[in-house]
């Protein structure tokens, strides 16, 4: 979370403006902190799905204080179930994003919060003031595909401008080129498939080119007024990218760069090699030490002593605080963080952070809400006037209670809650998991009231 300016509001004044929507299991949806207008939207969307695809299992029910929706056996978010069902899963995601935007809810982050058979959770915040584009939003999807080969990009709800933008981006950044393109019909939707030479999101040269391609795609899409609103996990492989048409938005590929966390101990700089020196200073100041630096397929790689991206206890805390210091270096360099993206989903490849060059940069401070083990939250680098109400949120809204608190160095705090909210599977109803997502929405609202944005 980043802070620009601080204000003070009490926990009891939290508005019901942060909604969480979780994509769970094969074709189930959970909605936390639901409002009447969102509930009504989901009912109408269910009717649309039933009329278009014949799905008859999408009724909304109350589920442990949340709303549960099953979008039917024709939908799935599991890639092994085939192209038709995967297409419908993307269609459902597009329609939810469009309708939430029409209701003035902005998607502020997408995060994987639990292990086993669980996809992304989307957190939305209600926008107080509407604009003329609300009510007629258009969302498209660009998704990696090709099964185990991972050699395709699939476009859904696209037009010719989007096709051209993606092809130009690949000409910019995908050195191996493409072997072909074609239109495919799937479940009544027209997909455009681009077959790559090489493998999307993989390691070595293809891994670096994937990240360069993402920067270029986001920039080229910006040139035709399509703005990235999220990258999200729908199928436990590489993230899918969703863009919304925004006539006020423009961008260029040169506006974007990326920081990639790799293996257990490495940082890679994509399109931002000029930040190498200040990043070295920030890394060492945060308590980590640099083992070596090298050129890695045209990017700069920094190898750190230890295993900061696969660690626990004190080393994990230092690693997460170091990321906050690194984010501050990007801010001073004029870059604003946009999204954390998973390109590959493997133990040797962690998240990458996409940044945009900001014409009006803000010198932000960053803090971290870290979710670790099965039931632990850590509040790192929050000032006391923010940390206390965030802590109080957990006590006030998490119904299963707190096991214990641990005071960490530098006024940081660790809270262990009852239950196992960071794990869910098909054999568990996962009540603590869903309640904790509602609590996280409340915590984001509290942080925003104090000037800290997610």
Which CATH number covers residue 430? 3.30.1360
Kindly calculate the radius of gyration of the chain based on its CA atoms and give it in whole angstroms: 21
Asked if the structure places residue 376 within a domain, the reply is yes
Gap between the Cα atoms of 447 and 2, Å rounded = 9
pLDDT score of 427: 44
DSSP letters for 102-157: HTTEEEEEEEE-SBSSEEEEEEEEE-SS--TTTTS--EEEEEEESGGG--EEEEES
Residue 365 structure tokens: 């401070």
- Residue 325 CA to its chain's centroid (Å): 20
287's torsion region: left (phi>0), alpha (psi -120 to 50) or beta?
left
What pTM, to 2 d.p., does this model score? 0.91
**In a 3-state reduction of DSSP, which class is residue 340?**
strand
Q: State how far the Cα of 204 lies from the Cα of 307, in Å rounded to an integer.
A: 20
DSSP code at position 189: E
Q: Which of 32, 137, 124, 45 is nearest to 88 (CA)?
A: 45
Q: Which of 331, 282, 335 is nearest to 304 (CA)?
A: 282
Range of the domain at 372: 2-8+367-453
**pLDDT tens digits in sequence order for the chain, 454 residues long:** 666 443 333 333 444 568 888 887 666 788 888 889 999 998 888 888 777 777 655 578 887 778 888 766 555 555 555 677 778 888 889 999 999 999 999 999 998 887 655 678 899 998 876 666 667 889 999 999 876 678 999 999 999 999 999 999 999 999 999 999 999 998 788 999 999 999 998 778 999 999 999 999 999 999 999 999 999 988 777 889 999 999 999 999 999 999 999 999 999 999 999 999 999 999 999 999 999 999 999 999 999 999 999 888 899 999 999 999 999 999 999 999 999 998 877 766 778 999 999 866 667 899 999 999 889 999 999 999 999 999 999 999 998 899 999 999 999 999 999 988 887 654 455 567 888 888 999 999 999 989 998 8
Q: Examine residue 380 and state whether it is found in any structural domain, yes or no.
A: yes
Task: Give me 440's structure tokens.
Answer: 């996280």
CA separation for the pair 454, 452 (Å, rounded): 7
Q: Is-contact 181 193, C-beta < 8 A?
A: yes
CB 272 within 8 A of CB 235: no
Contacts of 141 (CB under 8 A, 6+ apart): 90, 93, 94, 154, 155, 156, 157, 240, 241, 242, 243
**Does residue 250 fall inside a structural domain?**
no
Q: Is residue 419 part of a domain?
A: yes
Q: Is residue 393 part of a domain?
A: yes
- What letter does residue 273 receive in the DSSP assignment? G
400 located within any domain: yes
What is d(CA 281, CA 168) in angstroms, rounded to the nearest whole number? 36
Burial 370-406 (b: 16+ CB within 10 A, else e): bbeeebbbbbbbbeeebbebbbbbbeebbeeeeeeee
Q: Which two tokens stand for residue 6?
A: 């601080």
DSSP state at residue 322: H
Task: Establish if 406 belongs to a structural domain.
Answer: yes
**Running DSSP on this structure, what letter comes out for residue 243?**
E
Residue 394 lies in a domain: yes
Tally of domains in the chain = 1
Backbone torsions φ then ψ of 250, nearest 5 degrees = -140, 150
């Amino acid at each position: 979370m980043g802070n620009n300016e601080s204000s003070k509001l009490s926990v009891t004044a939290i508005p019901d403006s942060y909604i969480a929507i979780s994509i769970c299991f094969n074709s189930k949806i959970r909605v936390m902190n639901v409002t009447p207008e969102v509930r009504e939207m989901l009912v109408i969307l269910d009717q649309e799905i039933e009329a278009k695809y014949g799905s008859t299992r999408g009724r909304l029910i109350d589920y442990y204080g949340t709303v549960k929706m099953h979008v039917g056996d024709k939908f799935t978010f599991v890639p092994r179930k085939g192209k038709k069902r995967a297409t419908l899963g993307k269609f459902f995601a597009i329609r939810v994003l469009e309708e939430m935007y029409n209701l003035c809810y902005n998607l502020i982050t997408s995060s994987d919060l639990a292990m086993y058979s669980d996809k992304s959770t989307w957190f939305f915040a209600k926008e107080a003031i509407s604009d003329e584009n609300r009510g007629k939003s258009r969302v498209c999807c660009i998704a990696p595909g090709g099964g185990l080969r991972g050699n395709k990009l699939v476009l859904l709800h696209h037009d010719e401008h989007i096709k051209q933008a993606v092809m130009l981006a690949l000409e910019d950044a995908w050195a191996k080129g493409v072997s072909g393109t074609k239109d495919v019909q799937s479940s009544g939707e027209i997909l455009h498939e681009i077959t790559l030479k090489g493998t999307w999101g993989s390691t070595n040269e293809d891994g670096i080119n994937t990240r360069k391609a993402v920067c270029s795609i986001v920039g080229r899409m910006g040139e035709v007024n399509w703005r990235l609103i999220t990258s999200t996990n729908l199928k436990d492989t590489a993230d899918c990218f969703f863009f919304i048409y925004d006539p006020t938005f423009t961008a260029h590929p040169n506006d974007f760069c990326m920081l990639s966390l790799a293996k257990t101990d490495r940082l890679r700089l994509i399109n931002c090699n000029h930040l190498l020196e200040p990043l070295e200073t920030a890394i060492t100041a945060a308590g980590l030490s640099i083992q070596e630096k090298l050129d890695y397929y045209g990017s700069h790689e920094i190898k750190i002593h230890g295993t900061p991206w696969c660690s626990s206890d004190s080393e994990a805390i230092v690693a997460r605080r170091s990321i906050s210091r690194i984010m501050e270096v990007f801010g001073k360099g004029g870059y604003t963080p946009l999204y954390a993206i998973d390109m590959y989903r493997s133990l040797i490849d962690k998240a990458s952070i996409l940044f945009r060059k900001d014409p009006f940069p803000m010198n932000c401070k960053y803090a971290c809400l870290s979710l670790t083990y099965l039931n632990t939250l850590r509040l790192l680098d929050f000032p006391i006037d923010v940390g206390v109400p965030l802590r109080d949120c957990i006590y006030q809204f998490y119904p299963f209670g707190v096991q214990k608190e641990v005071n960490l160095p530098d006024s940081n705090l660790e809270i262990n809650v009852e239950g196992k909210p960071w794990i869910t599977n098909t054999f568990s109803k996962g009540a603590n998991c869903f309640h904790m997502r509602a609590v996280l929405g409340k915590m984001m609202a509290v942080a925003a009231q104090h000037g800290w944005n997610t």
